[in-house]
Amino acid sequence: MAAPVRGMIGSTSIGNTTSFQKKTRSKLVSIPGTRPSVQNGQLLVSSGVSSLDYVIGGGLAVGTLLLVEEDHYDSYSRMLLKYFLAEGVVCGHELFLASARDHPDDIMQELPSPIVDDVAGMKISEGQSQPSDPENPDTMKIAWRYQNQPKVQTALASSVRFGHYYDVSKTMEPELRQAAKCHSFYQLQETPVVTASSPLPSPYHSLLKSIQTVIRKEGFDGSTPQSKVRNVLRLGLHSLGSVLWGDDVCCKDNPAHCHALTTFLYILRGLLRTSLSVAMVTVPSHLTQNRAVMGRIIRLSDTAIALESFKGSEKETNPLYKDYHGLLHVRQLPRLNCLSCEVPDTKDLAFKLKRKQFTIERLHLPPDLSETLVDVQMGFTVTCRILEMSQGRAPL
């Protein structure tokens, strides 16, 4: 059951009612790493990248599916998947990782390490790296008024912040990684089950069965007694639709299983809606010949974004794009429990991957056309930027 903002009513009522309970007067169930949305009261989790959270309306709603269309070399989409999983580790959520190409353990070992706030505390704990006062390394010389304050907790064991930053050049410590519970599904090691009666091919069917088993066993659908602490399950499914999953939608014009991936996404969304879980699915859309199938896949997911990296294309040398690594297209934003959806003010977004941050920025400012008053000064700057962009010069 998703978004349990109604609180602990009783396990029977949770089994009967469905997901997306509207925020009511009763007390909020707080799960670490989540927060309610300001627009419609949905329970949100962070995707690991704070600028992506902003672009998709505050975060990923629990019970929804995020579709990421991969870039050509699958570098940035894989990075987004790792951010998503790393955020799950830091917040203490449970993880489920399924992949067909690389072993899930390899992906888990590459997770970026979180950036800790209290740098001074870390250095003191390391010891030799800094020349300190020989008698008493803990005395403060400048901020002596804070000497008697309690030390800030540096361990990220139960972080309640929403959204963290990660250092891509370092990998996450094994202790931190192993503290998180991770279920994995590696397609090449699964024994194929003959399911003659199911319209789904075997890999997708076994993946769905595996996801359902985890949800049931760990009680994400509300079937366990109330004593267990609630948690969110993060599902990361890598490169669905590729040939290694037994699907030929990416290599043939008229695939034999053209409905396999769409049926899979339909059932997956059903599973997500009835449990406390979030899924991020990456799909190599640049390999599908059939644009209509891609349109259907986008409509079957809730939030859909596409990454287009400049590597290897002629855009790499375009002076307009020299500060960025690629373009980010927002294909679809969900309407959850309300009529309107999050409307971004511009759809021209570009991303760049820095060591400590994955930033998403507006490439052009939109025309100054809104119902609210706009500052005259800002309007002037907007026009200047647009003129410069159109003349091919880099902005100020």
Partner 1 sequence: MFPELNSILNSTPDSFKSSDFILVSDRRADASFLIHHHLSFYLRAGCKVCFLGLVQSFSHYSAVGQRLGVSLAQAREKGQLVFLEGLKNSIGVILQEDTSQETQPLSYLRTPGAGLEGLFRFVESSVRQSGDGDAGESWGPPVLLIDDLSVLLSLGVSVGAILDFTLYCKATVCSELQGNMVILVRCEEEDADDDEEGSNLLQRGLVHQCNLALHVEGLPTGYCRDIHGQMEVWWRQEGETICNRRKIFHFKVHDKGASFFARGTSSAVL
Q: How far apart are CA 316 and CA 67, in angstroms?
A: 25
Closer to partner 1 at the Cβ: 202 or 212? 212
Pick from 161, 329, 335, 355 the residue near partner 1 by CB under 8 A: 335
We find the least distance from the C-beta atom of residue 28 to partner 1, in angstroms, to be 17
* Contact call for residue 208 and partner 1 (CB under 8 A): yes
Residue 308 main-chain phi, psi, to 5 deg: -130, 110
Number of H helices, E strands in the chain: 10, 14
Pick from 243, 244, 320, 341 the residue near partner 1 by CB under 8 A: 341
Closer to partner 1 at the Cβ: 353 or 386? 386
Task: State which of positions 227-286 bind partner 1 (CB under 8 A).
Answer: 259, 262-263, 266-267, 269-271, 273-274
Q: How far apart are CA 100 and CA 120, in angstroms?
A: 42
* Contact call for residue 16 and partner 1 (CB under 8 A): no
We find the least distance from the C-beta atom of residue 310 to partner 1, in angstroms, to be 22
Closer to partner 1 at the Cβ: 295 or 379? 295
Query: What secondary structure letter does DSSP report for 193?
Result: P
Distances (CA, A) of 228 to 11, 223, 320, 392: 11, 10, 53, 59
Pairing label, strands 349-353, 358-362:
antiparallel
Sequence-separated (6 or more) residues with CB below 8 Å from residue 71: 77, 286, 307, 308, 309, 311, 326
3-state helix, strand, coil in the chain (%, to 5): 30, 15, 50
Pick from 8, 11, 22, 394 the residue near partner 1 by CB under 8 A: 22
Alpha helix (H) residue ranges in the chain? 11-16, 50-55, 76-91, 104-109, 119-126, 174-179, 202-218, 260-273, 291-300, 376-390
* Contact call for residue 34 and partner 1 (CB under 8 A): no
We find the least distance from the C-beta atom of residue 197 to partner 1, in angstroms, to be 6
Buried b (16+ CB within 10 A) or exposed e, 189-228: eeeeeeeeeeebbbbbbbbbebbeebbeebbbbbeeeeee
Closer to partner 1 at the Cβ: 181 or 269? 269
Q: How far apart are CA 304 and CA 269, in angstroms?
A: 13
Chain-centroid distance, C-alpha 27: 27
We find the least distance from the C-beta atom of residue 176 to partner 1, in angstroms, to be 34
* Contact call for residue 290 and partner 1 (CB under 8 A): yes
Q: Tokens 């706030």 appear where?
A: 117
Sequence-separated (6 or more) residues with CB below 8 Å from residue 97: 85, 104, 107, 108, 182, 183, 184, 185, 235, 236, 238
Contact window for partner 1 (CB under 8 A) among 124-132, 134-142, 198-206, 317-325: 198-206
Residue 161, phi-psi category: left (phi > 0), alpha (psi -120 to 50), beta (remainder): beta
Report whether 41 contacts 5 (CB < 8 A): yes
Task: State which of positions 369-388 bind partner 1 (CB under 8 A).
Answer: 369-371
We find the least distance from the C-beta atom of residue 384 to partner 1, in angstroms, to be 21
* Contact call for residue 345 and partner 1 (CB under 8 A): yes
How many residues touch partner 1 (CB under 8 A)? 47
Contact window for partner 1 (CB under 8 A) among 66-74, 180-188, 196-204, 243-251: 196-204
* Contact call for residue 20 and partner 1 (CB under 8 A): yes
- Adjacent-strand bridge partners of 35: 44
* Contact call for residue 314 and partner 1 (CB under 8 A): no
Report whether 31 contacts 50 (CB < 8 A): no
Task: Give the x/- contact pattern for partner 1 in 39-68, rule: CB under 8 A.
Answer: ------------------------------
Closer to partner 1 at the Cβ: 292 or 396? 292
We find the least distance from the C-beta atom of residue 20 to partner 1, in angstroms, to be 5
Task: Give the x/- contact pattern for partner 1 in 90-129, rule: CB under 8 A.
Answer: ----------------------------------------
Q: How far apart are CA 99 and CA 73, in angstroms?
A: 16
Closer to partner 1 at the Cβ: 224 or 290? 290
Contact window for partner 1 (CB under 8 A) among 142-150, 161-169, 288-296, 378-386: 288-296
Which positions lie near partner 1, rule CB under 8 A? 17-22, 197-200, 205, 208-209, 212, 259, 262-263, 266-267, 269-271, 273-274, 290-292, 295-296, 299-300, 335-341, 343-347, 366, 369-371
